[in-house]
A and B are shown apart, each in its own frame.
Chain A
Amino acid sequence: MSATSRIDSATPERSAPAGVPQLDVDPFSTEFFEDPHRIHDVLREAGPVVWLEKWSVYGVARHAEVHAVLNDPLTFCSSRGVGLSDFAKEKPWRPQSIILEADPPAHTRTRAVLAQVLSPTAMKQVREHFTALAAAKVDELLVRGSFDAVADLAEAYPLSVFPDAMGLKQEGRENLLPYASLVFNAFGPPNQLRQEAIERSAPHQAYVAAQCQRENLAPGGFGACIHARADAGDITAEEAPLLVRSLLSAGLDTTVNGIGAAMYCLARFPDQLARLRSDPTLARNAFEEAIRFESPVQTFFRTTTREVELAGHRIGEGEKVLMFLGAANRDPRRWENPDRYDVARRTSGHVGFGSGIHMCVGQLLARLEGEVMLAAIARKVASIEISGPVKRRYNNTLRGLESLPITISPA
């Protein structure tokens, strides 16, 4: 059975609303994962709003409409789920997130807590340590010469900094990536990827639930900081573990795929590696541009809370709208030479971290990890060559690689 096959038929087939271009495209299929760019182009050019027949949802793939939907959270809400599943009709597969899957005013309070825990001030405190570990990782990999840039770098580096920064115990950390993969697969439709991820999820869910409890989080870590906000009365003691869960869900696999995207870019575009090497201060922007270029988080849904007009199309209440972040990030209406990876590009305005009130609350942490890793590479590595077959990893929401064998040489 392929990853694309329909497991159930809970969603009745509906025909396209009048005037909205209807497309027979499944953005959660192997075909799409292998080459999203061609189909993104089809989606963008079909119109500002499209109808995806396969899952009976609206889609937006141009930058302007994606940005507009992201920035109207009262009309395009998150509390009915940011995946295909509509929480008004279906029970969520896990207790609903109190930040990602919440609307103002409830969202405002929980968001403020995580924004403070992951603030610029908090990043200053971990920066030195993160920088040292990135340099050590690159030194270690230079000794090896040839390795898998996914397992040995894109996964290994975040795993060496993030769980400690959270304050997690050593035991059980192998559950973190499978749990995150599950969370991001679960935003997708009821296909094989989602179903199998949920079927295998019990041990990962049990691990994460336990790690969210206060007694399992080391003092000084992000987790303990969240619980401390319950003491201050900003959140309740019951809410604190759920906010820790949000960081464990979205704080690791995303940076893994972000750093993986940057490595894949630098391996494919040696002129850009050369430019980065000539000016290592471009490291942070080179990472940001990789987020635009590859969009590790490809899609999120919203649900309409009322009838609304979007780019001249009337959308009824209770409709799911799928936002193609990756397509918006390469929309030629917004970007010059969108298909070019340019480490010096002015990247401000890309939607790889989203936009508006739900924009990635961990974006500063992601940028810090990406920057210090690329800065270490810029200073220490002369060349990166792909030295084996590149394999893609399939996930309903995350775009990244399963394997990227490379050989690097010292500067």
Chain B
Amino acid sequence: MPSITFVHPDGRAQRIDARVGESAMQAATRHDVGGILAECGGNAMCATCHVYVDEGWLARLPAMGDDEDALLDGAAAERRANSRLSCQIKLAADLDGLVLNLPDRQL
């Protein structure tokens, strides 16, 4: 079971147990991680599950699709080189230890 850590804008780290096969967004909503809204429920349509992927992890994640790329341009918080939508990060065992930083806002 991969464990992932969400870091809130105030620096608080929240570590949760995720299931292989679910998305980082699904794990976050299941554990009620504030800061992940996921309004569209994981359909890559709303850009409210935006995260900044911690250094070192970006290249290990599944590739970004065109939908996600376009949506990130409209995300409420600044888009950075390590921006991803957490609903598009499917969790595998080798992502154990993944660290995702939360933006200051999703809307």
Contacts and interface: CB of A to CB of B under 8 A. Distances in A.
A112 B65 CA distance: 12
Contacts of A357: 43
A124 B41 contact: no
A89 B73 CA distance: 43
A363 B40 CA distance: 8
B71 A348 contact: no
B41 A348 contact: yes
Contacts of A112: 66-67
Contacts of A355: 41, 43
Scoring A119, A120, A346, A351 by chain B CB atoms within 10 A of each residue's CB, the highest score goes to A120
Interface in A336-395: 346, 348-351, 353, 355-357, 359, 361, 363-364, 367
A359 B42 CA distance: 11
B45 interface: yes
Contacts, number: 54
A178 to B, nearest CB: 29
A350 B41 contact: yes
A15 to B, nearest CB: 37
Given A115-B67, A119-B74, A121-B73, A348 B43 contact: no
A294 interface: no
Mostly, the B contact residues are loop
Interface stretch (B1-9, B10-18, B31-39, B92-100): B31-39
B75 interface: yes
Contacts of B47: 120
A346 B30 CA distance: 10
B43 A346 contact: no
Contact of B74 (A124, A351, A356, A363): A124
Contact of A359 (B43, B70, B75): B43
Contacts of A116: 70
A346 B32 CA distance: 8
A284 B107 contact: yes
A356 B43 contact: yes
A359 B32 contact: no
Contacts of A284: 107
B44 to A, nearest CB: 9
A367 B29 contact: no
Interface string B52-81: 000000000000001100110111100000
5 contacts: A122-B74, A346-B32, A348-B37, A356-B43, A359-B43
Rank and list the top 7 A-B pairs by shortest CB-CB distance, nearest first. Answer: A120-B74, A121-B74, A348-B38, A349-B41, A359-B43, A120-B47, A119-B74
